Amino acid sequence: MLDALRYEWTRLWTLRSTYWLIGIGLLCALAIPLITGIAAGDQTLDTFFTAVLLNGGAMFGLPFLAVFMGIIGIFSTGHEYRHGTIQPTLTSLPQRSRLIAAKILVMSGVTVAVTVLSLVLNAAVMLAFWGEIQGLFEDPLLPSLIGYVLYVLIYMLVGQGLGLLFRGVPSALVVIFLMPLILETAIAGLAFIPALDWLEPAVKFLPFNAGSRLMILDLSDAEDLGGDMLSRWEGGAVFALFAAIIMAAAWTLFKKRDA
């Protein structure tokens, strides 16, 4: 297993795109507290805006880091097929399950590390402008930030699974962006039409929608949004289950298919 981990680590860090994508992701997230600090550095921050500045606006939609780490996740598996490197990979490391396990472990570790680094950098900028961050290690900010890290991690794993499932990059990119940004939004919107209100119970289980509950600050708003919304960890579990199903299908097919 150590050989596989070493391989995946070297594979990841010998690609220039890894540095670019992580760098752009960090900068995009960093831009939020930086711009806010320049524009409104003299104003007091409430808990909601503290969370927004720390996670780079993740709660407004799709987190910047999730997008970029998702792409790196897709590359980690899809690139092997796109560029035909799966052959040298499997002739240097023929144990397929070990290879996938190593890809998941290395990419998960890097994703968590990069997301935490992003939080630290954003916090440093906030400290520079506001001098303090109130309630950082307290409820509800801390669980929301932990949920943010988990959301980015699960999003990356979905990307990794899709890249392996589709054995390529373009299809996986389409799905990972189309689903949360268009498909789920459309389904949630259609549920408001009286004739389609039977969709409503399913909306809370839409995986990316459910996953976004991980980052939410005030869970009491769930009541207003349609009754029984999922709790933070229930939402996270639905999103994680979605990622697990994709990864399990991809892993099984990877073992069965010709390389």
List residues near another protein by CB under 8 A. Answer: 3-4, 6-7, 9-11, 14-17, 79, 83-85, 87-95, 256-259
Choose among 236, 229, 158: nearest CA to 188: 229
Q: What angle do CA 143, 161, 21 make, to 5 degrees?
A: 70
Cα separation, 15 vs 233, whole angstroms: 35
Q: How far is the CB of 8 from another protein (least distance, A)?
A: 9
Tokens of 126: 């906030």
Rg of the Cα atoms in the chain: 19
Q: How far is the CB of 101 from another protein (least distance, A)?
A: 14
Q: Which is nearer to another protein, 3 or 218 (CB)?
A: 3
CB 107 within 8 A of CB 19: no
Q: How far is the CB of 10 from another protein (least distance, A)?
A: 4
Choose among 158, 154, 133, 136: nearest CA to 145: 136
Tally: H helices and E strands in the chain: 12, 0
CA-based torsion, 160, 166, 170, 173: positive or negative: negative
Q: Which is nearer to another protein, 44 or 257 (CB)?
A: 257
Q: How far is the CB of 204 from another protein (least distance, A)?
A: 41
Q: How far is the CB of 256 from another protein (least distance, A)?
A: 7
Q: Which is nearer to another protein, 33 or 73 (CB)?
A: 73
Tokens of 194: 């009286």
Q: Which is nearer to another protein, 76 or 122 (CB)?
A: 76
Q: Which is nearer to another protein, 95 or 231 (CB)?
A: 95
Q: How far is the CB of 4 from another protein (least distance, A)?
A: 7
Q: How far is the CB of 258 from another protein (least distance, A)?
A: 4
Q: What angle do CA 227, 231, 232 make, to 5 degrees?
A: 140
Tokens of 203: 């909306």
Q: Which is nearer to another protein, 57 or 159 (CB)?
A: 159
Q: Print the SS3 string covering 132-174.
A: CCCCCCCCCHHHHHHHHHHHHHHHHHHHHHHHHHHCCCHHHHH
Q: Which is nearer to another protein, 7 or 208 (CB)?
A: 7
